[in-house]
């Protein structure tokens, strides 16, 4: 190790060099440009061949940018990968506050561990970059050969460091402004396309994809924070996600020491198994949460938070647009259903009624005649017409439920014909505050209960049948239970009626379960989420 040949600059020469550096640094708009600007001048004075600098963001406690000029192949290869990974001595001293002026670093892990042609670089000088007490980064300079910088050279580098610090600070501000502008333009394009979707799942997935593809975040997802009341232990669930390719350098350049207490997330990663940074924003007026994750430390800034908050409000508008769209579609469907119901009532139903009257008149006219075959045929015709009338009434009721009829009232009306069976005792237990539900859901539930009751009366040989309705504020629970013969559900194939009941409940957004054991009766449980704005908003028709 040898000292660099000492040199002495008079004051005019020093001022001239500093003036020249100030002029070229004033034109630099990023760290690499600043390094390229100062290297030729420093090369003339100090014989330097290489310069690189790390820009530090104190708000993130992390180095966020690296720029260099004149790097040897060993440091320049793979897009300066040797400078963008790991942690070195100068960074440790800078973060710990012990790097206060330009110093010689005779032990440099980056130079030591770099493979390939180093062009004679062995040592380098490190100069802290600060402006008004604000830590901004580190300037590293080196010359070929095992030489170190003299005190005069280090003093000049310290002064130059103040100029470079101003340039680096300005470069950081410009970089943030450029990034914010670019992301704002991308956000405008995303939101213009976002409102074109009319399905909730498509909106949520498009949002996650766009945060990664167009806003260049490493991983993004949508969480649903609402809990399932039937499973209190369940937490938030991820319902849409996207992430960038794991190959290469994810996201922007940023790293901190592995010994940093923030190196591990406080909560479990949701999208990336090895995430080390996260940011969450609630989507207003919804149960959804926008979440970003990164494998890097300290990646997300206040600017990212502001951008995500803005994006969340656009998501709210898109979800509201989706709700209104489906409400308008249901309104149109409802008007058409009412028209069809009126047509069926005025045409087909009236004709069936007329046909029934004619067959009854014919039956009375032939009452005294000895025509057994005719009587049996007329009875069959009457029964078929009566059955068709009942089915027509049910169809009309499905298309146009009685206005304002409550679910419990409709259920009792539906069950009243069955209660004529004296062999089976009916028990109905229900709260007085069953919330109103949309007509489609109400008709689906009535049909399912109807089918379950008929199954009991036909097959179960039961003596009691109970129908219990519970309302726990989040869902409506209907339990239908008999004390009949029961059956082995594991060895019995579900019939058409059971399959239809399950389909009807699932189409209404609920769950259908059937429990039965041989000689222990049968129990059917229906769970329907209560209509809310986001989960089952059918609109008021």
What CATH number has the domain bearing residue 115?
3.30.450.40
Residue 390, domain member (yes or no):
no
**Rounded distance between C-alpha atoms, residue 85 and residue 107, angstroms:** 17
pTM for the structure as a whole: 0.52
Residue 431 is part of a domain; what is its CATH number?
A: 3.30.565.10
**Rounded distance between C-alpha atoms, residue 182 and residue 190, angstroms:** 12
Q: Are residues 115 and 194 in the same domain?
A: no
Q: Are residues 170 and 26 in the same domain?
A: yes
**Rounded distance between C-alpha atoms, residue 205 and residue 213, angstroms:** 12
Q: Are residues 241 and 155 in the same domain?
A: no
- Region of residue 349 (phi > 0: left; psi between -120 and 50: alpha; otherwise: beta): alpha
The pLDDT profile of the chain, 541 residues, written as one tens digit per residue, is 445 445 556 677 778 888 888 888 888 777 778 888 887 877 777 778 888 888 888 777 788 778 888 889 999 998 888 888 777 888 888 888 888 888 887 678 888 888 899 888 888 889 998 888 888 889 888 888 776 778 888 888 888 888 888 888 888 888 888 888 888 888 888 988 888 888 889 999 999 999 999 998 999 999 987 644 444 444 678 889 998 875 444 444 555 555 555 555 556 788 988 888 899 999 998 889 999 998 887 788 888 999 999 999 999 999 998 888 888 877 777 677 666 666 565 556 556 665 666 666 666 666 666 566 666 666 667 666 666 666 666 666 666 554 445 788 888 877 776 766 677 888 989 887 787 777 778 888 888 888 888 888 878 888 999 999 998 777 889 999 999 998 887 776 656 568 888 888 988 888 999 998 888 899 999 998 875 433 334 333 3
Number of domains observed in the structure of the chain:
3
pLDDT of residue 351: 60
Q: Are residues 157 and 263 in the same domain?
A: no
Residue 467, domain member (yes or no):
yes
Residue 356, domain member (yes or no):
no
Residue 348, domain member (yes or no):
no
Residue 365, domain member (yes or no):
no
- Region of residue 461 (phi > 0: left; psi between -120 and 50: alpha; otherwise: beta): left
Q: Are residues 25 and 161 in the same domain?
A: yes
Q: Are residues 317 and 459 in the same domain?
A: no
146: tokens are 């095992």
Q: Are residues 94 and 66 in the same domain?
A: yes
pLDDT of residue 371: 62
Beta strand 62-69 with 50-57 is: antiparallel
Q: Are residues 234 and 301 in the same domain?
A: yes
The domain containing residue 225 runs over which residues? 181-325
Residue 371, domain member (yes or no):
no
Q: Are residues 73 and 42 in the same domain?
A: yes
**Rounded distance between C-alpha atoms, residue 254 and residue 56, angstroms:** 9
Q: Are residues 410 and 466 in the same domain?
A: yes
Domain edge (last residue) among 325, 349, 375: 325
Residue 391, domain member (yes or no):
no
Placement of tokens 């498009």 in the chain = 206
CA 183 to chain centre: 19
Q: Are residues 164 and 57 in the same domain?
A: yes
Rg (CA), the chain: 39
Q: Helix (H, G, I), strand (E, B), or coil: what is residue 488? A: coil
Residues in the chain: 541
Domain edge (last residue) among 267, 295, 325: 325
Q: Are residues 185 and 171 in the same domain?
A: no
Handedness of CA 112, 117, 123, 128 (dihedral sign): negative
Residue 399, domain member (yes or no):
no
**Is there a contact between 428 and 509 (Cβ–Cβ < 8 Å)?**
no
Domain edge (last residue) among 154, 177, 200: 177
Classify burial at 448, counting beta carbons within 10 Å of its beta carbon; exposed 0-12, middle 13-18, buried 19 or more: buried
């Amino acid at each position: 190790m040898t000292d660099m040949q000492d040199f002495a600059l008079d004051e005019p020469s020093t001022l001239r060099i500093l003036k020249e550096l100030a002029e070229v640094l004033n034109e630099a708009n990023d760290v690499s440009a600043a390094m390229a600007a100062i290297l030729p001048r420093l090369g003339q004075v100090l014989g330097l061949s290489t310069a690189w600098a790390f820009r530090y963001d104190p708000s993130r406690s992390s180095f966020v940018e690296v720029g260099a000029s004149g790097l040897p192949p060993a440091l320049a290869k793979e897009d300066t990968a040797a400078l963008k990974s790991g942690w070195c001595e100068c960074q440790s001293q800078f973060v710990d506050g012990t790097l206060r002026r330009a110093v010689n670093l005779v032990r440099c892990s980056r130079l030591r561990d770099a493979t390939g042609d180093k062009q004679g670089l062995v040592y380098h000088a490190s100069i802290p970059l600060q402006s008004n007490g604000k830590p901004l980064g580190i300037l590293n300079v080196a010359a070929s050969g095992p030489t170190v910088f003299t005190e005069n050279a280090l003093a000049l580098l310290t002064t130059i460091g103040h100029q470079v610090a101003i340039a680096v600070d300005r470069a950081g501000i410009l970089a943030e402004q450029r990034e914010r502008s670019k992301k704002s333009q991308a956000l405008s394009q995303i939101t213009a396309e976002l409102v074109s979707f009319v399905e909730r799942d498509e909106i949520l997935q498009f949002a996650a994809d766009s945060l990664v593809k167009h806003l260049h975040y490493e991983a993004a997802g949508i969480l649903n924070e609402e809990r399932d009341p039937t499973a209190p232990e369940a937490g938030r669930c991820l319902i849409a996600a996207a992430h960038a390719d794991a190959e290469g350098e994810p996201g922007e350049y940023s790293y901190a020491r592995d010994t940093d207490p923030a190196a591990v997330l406080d909560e479990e990663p949701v999208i990336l198994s090895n995430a080390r940074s996260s940011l969450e924003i609630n989507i207003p007026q919804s149960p959804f949460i926008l979440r970003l994750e990164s494998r890097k430390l300290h990646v997300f800034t206040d600017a990212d938070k502001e951008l995500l908050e803005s994006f969340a409000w656009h998501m709210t508008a898109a979800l509201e647009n989706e709700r209104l769209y489906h409400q308008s579609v249901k309104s149109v469907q409802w008007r058409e259903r009412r028209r069809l119901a009126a047509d069926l009532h005025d045409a087909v139903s009236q004709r069936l009624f007329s046909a029934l009257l004619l067959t009854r008149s014919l039956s009375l006219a032939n009452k005294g005649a000895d025509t057994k075959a005719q009587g049996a045929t007329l009875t069959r015709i009457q029964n078929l017409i009566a059955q068709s009338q009942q089915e027509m009434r049910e169809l009309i009721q499905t298309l146009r439920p009685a206005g304002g009829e409550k679910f419990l009232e409709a259920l009792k009306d539906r069950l009243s014909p069955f209660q004529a069976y004296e062999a089976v005792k009916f028990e109905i237990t229900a709260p007085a505050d069953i919330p109103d539900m949309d007509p489609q859901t109400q008709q689906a539930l009535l049909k399912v209960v109807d089918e379950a009751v008929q199954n009991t009366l036909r097959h179960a040989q039961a003596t009691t049948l109970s129908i219990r309705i519970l309302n726990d504020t989040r869902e409506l629970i209907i339990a239908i239970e008999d004390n009949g013969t029961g059956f082995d559900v594991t060895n019995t194939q579900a019939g058409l009626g059971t399959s239809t009941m399950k389909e009807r409940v699932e189409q209404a957004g609920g769950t259908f379960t059937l429990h039965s054991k041989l000689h222990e009766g049968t129990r059917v449980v229906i769970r329907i989420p209560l209509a809310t704005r986001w989960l089952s908003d059918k609109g008021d028709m």
